């Protein structure tokens, strides 16, 4: 359903042109749960932005359901059925959680329907529905609301950029169940950028990206054993306990 | 009243029909309707410059509507309305002014509202300003509010000016006695070549008095806004003032908070922030399928809600 053909993305820095994504090709099939992982700075988030249209590739083509969307705007891609959950969700003074969910669903969602999306991401809905999406929400709360806005869109393709980033371990333990449920229930395709072993564990396919290129790609069974214990996948709990004991 | 006046009335007082409870409707400088209740009396001042609204002590859950509408080009008026709110009363007061100016001459309404709030009384005061009409004449509104609060009284003031007023100079002055509490929320949107100045001057005179002055505004096009908020802490008290503004196009905004503590137990805070709509806010809403313009509209609406 989504095909990236020879995508490159260059930026200018002090030393001149620098390739962030280098001639990368990738296909995401219908109904698949794909996890992209790899070392920090490897180009994963850039790839997510290229798919959602926030960044435009220097060269290459992006096809969605066979249609060339390379030159389509963020809005056009959203309306074609691509959703994108930010790594760092945006705060809005004044806009309430219900407003945001209604904008996402594109209908005048009833409070009860909106509550359902919030419940799915583990928020006690009635406490949140009228809250402003502002600095009074914690990082974990914001992240869940961000995910709820993507759920409310029920898109053909949902892209999540590091859902674990910026939230504490205990919140993440709950959040992971959201993705487990999504894997079971969602009909569209899901693309998650993550370092989390538990998310890698529910992937149909895993793609490892390093230095702007795909270094490994295949089914979970093929790829996961080779990357566990490398810097590409970090078991958050063991890292936490090691940190605690100062080994 | 004609259709234009009815529309203005709907905008400034959310009134579709004659309101319940006490009211006084002023249209083009004349009284267009009045009703009093057993507890709320409205009396014209003898010199004809305005009205006195007297609310008996202990009056609960009653409301007073005093909208003003101007639909005649070139009309300039100055009105003094005094509110005497008895002890332990709990009332809602809705004021507001709508001007429709289709002519070439300026129309201006200057209203001074004085509030005398008795001990332990509670007042919610809602004020809306609105302008319409496509004439070259300006629509000018200069509301003045003077508030005197006795021990333990509470006042919540909401003022909104979202559309069509060319020039506003708003002054609000308040004096608070022991335990009195004042909350002011201002919502303002200016566009075109409009100019709006809001000046607050709050004196926290009583022990444990408190004030919270919050302004949220959006300035578009070539408009200009100035927010001046002065809080004087003259006793053990708490004061907070906040100005949060979105600036767009070629607008200009100036925020001037001023705090003075005349007592070591006065706790005073000011916050002021002026900035453009964050690009990532627009992008987030675009990922939900909104166009850039729609996203901007939603952000502004939410901000001023």
Can you give the pLDDT at residue A171? 72
Contacts of B293 in chain A (CB under 8 A): none
Q: Could A94 and B285 be called an inter-chain contact, meaning their C-beta atoms sit closer than 8 Å?
A: no
Residues 6 or more apart whose Cβ sits within 8 Å of residue A200: A35, A37, A194, A206, A220, A224, A227, A233
ipTM of the modeled complex? 0.89
Number of domains comprising chain A? 1
B285: left (phi over 0), alpha (psi -120 to 50) or beta: alpha
CA neighbor of B129 nearest in space, from B166, B89, B171, B176: B166
pLDDT-flagged residues of chain B (< 70) = 14-19
Do the Cβ atoms of A101 and A149 come closer than 8 Å? yes
Can you give the pLDDT at residue B17? 62
Can you give the pLDDT at residue A181? 82
Can you give the pLDDT at residue B131? 84
Q: Could B287 and A103 be called an inter-chain contact, meaning their C-beta atoms sit closer than 8 Å?
A: no
Contacts of A142 in chain B (CB under 8 A): none
Distances (CA, A) of B120 to B54, B67, B88, B93: 16, 26, 5, 17
A188 part of a folded domain? yes
Residues 6 or more apart whose Cβ sits within 8 Å of residue A41: none
pTM of the full structure: 0.83
d(CA B215, CA B160): 10
A44 part of a folded domain? yes
A43 part of a folded domain? yes
- Provide the residue ranges of all domains of chain B, joining segments of one domain with +: 1-165, 189-305
Can you give the pLDDT at residue B5? 78
Contacts of B280 in chain A (CB under 8 A): 86, 90
A8 part of a folded domain? yes
Q: Which domain holds residue A218?
A: 2-88+154-245
Q: What is the CATH number of the domain that holds A209?
A: 3.40.50.300
Can you give the pLDDT at residue A246? 38
pLDDT tens sequence for chain A (247 residues): 899 999 999 998 888 888 899 999 999 999 999 999 999 889 999 999 999 999 999 999 999 999 999 999 999 999 999 999 999 999 998 899 999 999 999 888 888 888 888 988 888 778 888 899 988 998 888 988 999 999 899 899 999 999 888 777 777 777 788 888 877 777 789 999 998 888 899 899 999 999 999 999 999 999 988 887 655 445 444 444 444 443 3
d(CA A157, CA A159): 7
Can you give the pLDDT at residue B16? 60
Q: Could B288 and A104 be called an inter-chain contact, meaning their C-beta atoms sit closer than 8 Å?
A: yes
Can you give the pLDDT at residue A244? 42
Q: Could A94 and B281 be called an inter-chain contact, meaning their C-beta atoms sit closer than 8 Å?
A: no
Terminal CA-CA length for chain B: 30
Size of interface A-B (CB pairs under 8 A): 59
């Amino acid at each position: 359903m989504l095909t990236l053909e020879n995508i490159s993305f260059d930026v200018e820095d002090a030393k001149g042109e620098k390739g962030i994504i280098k001639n990368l090709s990738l296909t995401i099939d219908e109904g698949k749960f794909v996890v992209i992982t790899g070392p920090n700075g490897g180009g994963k988030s850039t790839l997510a932005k290229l798919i959602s249209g926030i960044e435009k590739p220097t060269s290459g083509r992006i096809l969605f359901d066979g249609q060339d969307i390379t030159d389509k705007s963020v809005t056009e891609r959203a309306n074609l059925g691509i959703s994108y959950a930010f790594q760092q969700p945006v705060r809005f003074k004044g806009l309430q959680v219900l407003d945001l969910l209604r904008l996402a669903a594109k209908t005048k969602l009833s409070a009860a329907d909106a509550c359902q999306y919030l419940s799915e991401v583990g928020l006690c809905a009635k406490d949140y529905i009228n809250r402003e999406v502002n600095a009074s929400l914690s990082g974990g709360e914001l992240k869940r609301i961000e995910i709820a806005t993507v759920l409310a869109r029920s898109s053909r393709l949902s892209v999540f950029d590091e859902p674990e980033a910026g939230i504490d371990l205990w919140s993440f333990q709950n959040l992971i169940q959201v993705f487990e449920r999504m894997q079971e229930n969602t009909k569209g395709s899901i693309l998650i950028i993550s370092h989390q072993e538990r998310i890698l564990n529910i992937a149909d396919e895993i793609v490892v990206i390093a230095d702007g290129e795909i270094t490994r790609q295949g089914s979970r069974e093929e790829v996961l054993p080779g990357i566990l214990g490398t810097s590409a996948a970090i078991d958050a709990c063991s890292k936490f306990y090691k940190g605690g004991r100062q080994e | 009243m004609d259709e234009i006046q009815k529309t203005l009335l709907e905008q400034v007082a959310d009134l579709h029909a004659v309101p319940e409870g006490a009211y006084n409707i002023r249209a083009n400088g004349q009284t267009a309707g009045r009703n009093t209740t057993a507890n709320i009396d409205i009396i014209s001042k003898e010199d004809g410059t305005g009205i006195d609204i007297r609310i008996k002590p202990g009056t609960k859950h009653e409301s007073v509507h005093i909208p003003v509408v101007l639909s005649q080009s070139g009309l300039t008026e100055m009105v003094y309305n005094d509110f005497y709110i008895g002890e332990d009363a709990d009332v809602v007061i809705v004021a507001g002014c709508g001007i429709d100016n289709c002519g070439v001459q300026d129309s201006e309404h200057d209203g001074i509202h004085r509030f005398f709030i008795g001990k332990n009384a509670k007042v919610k005061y809602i004020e809306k300003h609105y302008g319409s009409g496509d004439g070259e004449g300006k629509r000018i509104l200069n509301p003045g509010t003077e508030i005197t609060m006795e021990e333990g009284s509470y006042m919540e003031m909401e003022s909104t000016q979202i559309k069509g007023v060319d020039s506003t100079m708003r002054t609000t002055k308040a004096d608070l006695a022991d335990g009195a509490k004042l909350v002011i929320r201002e919502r303002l949107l200016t566009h075109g070549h409009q100019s709006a100045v809001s000046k607050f001057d709050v004196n926290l005179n009583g022990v444990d008095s408190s004030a919270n002055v919050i302004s949220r505004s959006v300035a578009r096009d070539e408009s200009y806004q100035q927010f001046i908020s002065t809080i004087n802490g003259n006793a053990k008290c708490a004061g907070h003032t906040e100005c949060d503004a979105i600036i767009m196009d070629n607008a200009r905004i100036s925020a001037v908070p001023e705090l003075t503590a005349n007592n070591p137990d006065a706790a005073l805070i000011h916050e002021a922030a002026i900035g453009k709509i964050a690009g990532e806010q627009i992008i987030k809403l675009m990922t939900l399928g909104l166009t850039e313009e729609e996203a901007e509209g939603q952000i502004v609406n939410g901000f001023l809600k």
